[in-house]
Amino acid sequence: MDGVISGRTIKPPRVVLYAKDGMGKTTWAAGADRPIFLPTEEGADEVGVDRFPLLDDFPVFLAALGKVAKGDHDYGTVVVDSLDWLERLIFSDVAKDKGVSSIEDIGYGKGYLFALDKWRRVIAGLDLCRGQGMAVIAIAHAQIKRFDSPEVEPYDRYMLKLKDSAGALLREWADVVGYATNDVSVKKADVGFNATVARGHSTGRRSLRLVERPAYDAKNRYGLPDSIPFPKEGGWQVFCQAFEKAESKTSVKQIVDNAEDSAEAQREEASNG
């Protein structure tokens, strides 16, 4: 039948990486293939990657994203650093649009609905970058939030440091949501009088969690392991090795290169037509 596509088509991954402060999120993303950073907070300067100047206004951010999405460059990965600081710019832009001092002044939670429209513009721009053959990495901070499960009593877990509606939208969009953390073991200590307390001890190891658990949110669409190492250096390469193993020897770089070739062919066809 005309118009039907058969079989799998593997496109460059869209990765959301979140963690507490100081885990090396920016360093991890800097190890990706030819990255260009869209910084909404300071941090990329210290790593020394290619980047735009600090993007401290939402229209300025969209303009920078638009430049990358045009594809007139040799970068292989676009990095948003970070989502939660970008959300602040979105909130300020919504308030400016409505002529109020704060998004909270709009009332009835409508301001956050307007913010979702701006998030969709961000997602559309990142997908345009992906269509040009680029991998996408979006960095965020972690926060502990109450999770209301319909199956059990509510409990706390690590989640993206975003408004719930925005976090849900980005989680649904991403191919991978990874939570990076220090591995901790719990040991009981004797405090006297036949009493013990449980104390956490660092194992010295760091992990990137890729499958959801009660303690944290995570996901992946590639059949990746529950967790992989998150070293201080070379973390992106560890992720790529896990991806290649899960995708039957297909590497992230190969996917990006193939997508770039396809996008270039389409641009040439359009210019010749």
Q: What is the pLDDT of residue 151?
A: 83
| Over residues 14-29, mean pLDDT | 97
Query: Is the backbone peptide bond immediately before 251 cis, with ω within 30 degrees of 0?
Result: no
Residue 246: per-residue pLDDT: 87
Q: Where are the alpha helices (DSSP H) in the chain?
A: 25-30, 44-47, 58-69, 83-98, 110-131, 164-173, 235-246, 252-272
CA 106 vs. chain centroid, Å, equals 29
C-alpha to C-alpha distance for 168 and 83, rounded to whole angstroms: 13
Strand 14-19 vs strand 135-147: parallel, antiparallel, or unpaired?
parallel
Band of residue 2 on the pLDDT scale cut at 50, 70, 90: confident
Q: Is the pLDDT of residue 194 over 90?
A: no
**Mean pLDDT along residues 85-107:** 96
From CA 10, how far away is CA 143, in angstroms rounded?
A: 32
Give per-residue pLDDT as tens, 135-172. 999 999 999 999 888 888 889 999 999 999 999 999 99
pLDDT in tens, 24-68: 999 999 999 999 999 999 888 889 899 999 999 999 999 999 999
CA distance 98 to 211: 40
For residues 194-222, average pLDDT? 83
pLDDT (average), residues 170-197? 78
| Cα(140)–Cα(17) distance, integer angstroms | 6
Q: pLDDT above 70 covers what percent of the chain? A: 86
Mean pLDDT within 182-186:
74
Q: What is the pTM of this model?
A: 0.89
Average pLDDT, the chain: 89
Let me know if 129 is exposed, middle or buried by CB neighbors in 10 A (0-12, 13-18, 19+). Answer: buried
Closest C-alpha to 256, from 50, 28, 76: 76
Helix-strand-coil split of the chain, %, nearest 5: 40, 25, 35
Nearest to 163 by CA among 107, 112, 205: 112
Backbone angles phi, psi at 6, to 5 degrees: -110, 150
pLDDT on residue 258: 76
Q: Which residues pair with 208 in a beta bridge?
A: 180, 228
